[in-house]
A and B are shown apart, each in its own frame.
Chain A
Amino acid sequence: EVQLVESGGGLIQPGGSLRLSCAVSGLIVNRYYMAWVRQAPGKGLEWVSVIYAGGDAHYAQSVRGRFTISTDALKNTVNLQMDSLRAEDTAIYYCVRQSLDAICFDHWGQGTLVSVSS
């Protein structure tokens, strides 16, 4: 059974940094496309970033240059380093596995809340 468990969320001031981690079981992260999707309070879903099995990473325009996605093969985790945080980054961040054909998200974590506020 695939399980994704996020951690690292919390309250952070604008301009600050936060690192989210997603502990994965039931699959080897470096063999799949792994991504982050976020949801601002009361709003819809927004794709944030994806890392491919070969290590290539891509980002939504809204976070490009500020967020960095990575994987740790030893810990089997997916990480999201978030720098220069803004109020509009406040959201629940979900760790997700992209399907083998990369067209949808077939496994979701429970999410971790990031609040950016002074």
Chain B
Amino acid sequence: DIQLRQVPSTLSASLGDRVTITCRTSQSVPTWVAWYQQKPGKAPSLLIYKTSTLEGGVPSRFSGSGSDTYFTLTINGLQTDDLGTYYCQLCSGQSCSFGQGTKLEI
């Protein structure tokens, strides 16, 4: 199975900041990465799929990019509502994997 490693594990930022979370895969992936936001006590929700496509209703301050083994999630102009934990994810072959998560503190 492909392993995903997110950096950093915890991120402390201020309102209005631009923050970037990285996700590295253990091998080059011929597929896309997705990103999820999980707020405390809630189920995760899809933010970005196919590496850079925003899910419907997701604010445009979120963006994703990357290829091969390196992917990023960027939030431009951090807002209070962005507090939570973020996960990258991909499916390859007959299984799927998640990164270990990045907890965003504001």
Q: Residues of A with Cβ closer than 8 Å to B?
A: 35, 37, 44-47, 50, 58, 60-61, 94, 98-99, 102-106, 108-111
- A60→B95 contact, CB < 8 A: yes
13 A-B pairs besides A106-B49, A108-B45 with CB distance below 8 A are A37-B98, A45-B89, A58-B95, A60-B95, A61-B1, A94-B44, A102-B91, A103-B91, A104-B46, A104-B50, A106-B46, A108-B44, A110-B43
Q: Answer whether A104 and B43 are a contact pair too, CB < 8 Å, given A44-B98, A47-B97, A60-B95.
A: no
Residue B17 is within 8 A (CB to CB) of chain A in the complex = no
Other-chain contact of B87, A44, A103, A108 (Cβ < 8 Å): A44
- A44→B99 contact, CB < 8 A: yes
Residue B94 is within 8 A (CB to CB) of chain A in the complex = yes
Chain A residues with Cβ under 8 A from B89's Cβ? 45, 104-105
